[in-house]
Structure 1
Amino acid sequence: MRLLQVGQLVTSRQGRDLGRRYVVVQFYDDSFVGVADGLVRRVSRPKRKNIRHLVIHQAVLDGGKLDDKAIRAFIERHSGEEEERKEDAAHGQG
């Protein structure tokens, strides 16, 4: 059973792209996935990442068709929510 699914939000925790958020767009094998952010890494040319080098989030992009515009909007929407949670936790509200 895979921990990931296509459309799932992930964050890079290793490499030059440390901290960058992506959406899983394909599976290469049990250890590697293709990820895209809709800006630098587009769906047409995803970045190959080792699953061990990713932080897996619960958010999943639904809708069937993954395109760059939808991925950008999804990442922006969920990045804002996480920033709010961090601020609330820092102020003792979380």
Structure 2
Amino acid sequence: MNDSGPSPELGRIVLIKKGRDQGQFGIIVELVDDRFVGIANGDTRKVDRVKRKNLNHLELVDYIADEVRNSFVETGRVTNGKLRYAITNFLEQHSDLLKEGE
């Protein structure tokens, strides 16, 4: 079905390639269908106002924020703070990714 890259799943970090938020990172918090997902970052895009994005406009990063996925498994939801923490944590671990894009 897809080109053996990372699959869209809850807690996966994505890089937004198109749209107003281009160049920013988000986390998949909702699987809409096989073409769309809901993303949020806990800051400019809160969990209660998830942005629906076409998967073609996102670059799926080969990284899943365990704390976000575990939160969905345990409670069925995630907090904005947890999303912010997960993105900050990811960026600290993968600061090399930021330098590539410049």
Instruction: Indicate which of 24, 32, 46 corresponds to 2:28.
Output: 24
RMSD: 2.2
User: TM-score, normalised to structure 2's length?
Assistant: 0.76
Task: Please identify which structure carries the higher helix content.
Answer: 2
Distance in 1 of aligned mates of 2:37 and 2:57: 11
Q: Which residue of 2 aligns with 1:76?
A: 88
Residue 33 (structure 2) pairs with residue 48 (structure 1): no
Q: Which runs of 5 or more structure 1 residues have no equivalent in the other structure?
A: 90-94
After the TM superposition, which parts of structure 1 deviate over 2 Å for at least 4 consecutive aligned residues?
85-89
Quick check: which has more Rg, 1 or 2? 1
Residue 68 (structure 2) pairs with residue 64 (structure 1): no
Q: For 1:10-42, what per-residue CA distance to the aligned partner results, in whole angstroms no more than 9, with x for missing partners? A: 010111111110000001111110000001111
Q: Which residue of 2 aligns with 1:33?
A: 37
Q: For 1:51-87, what per-residue CA distance to the aligned partner results, in whole angstroms no more than 9, with x for missing partners? A: 011111121122233211111001011112222x359
State the aligned residue count.
88
Amino acid across the alignment from 2:89: R
Q: Which runs of 5 or more structure 2 residues have no equivalent in the other structure?
A: 73-77
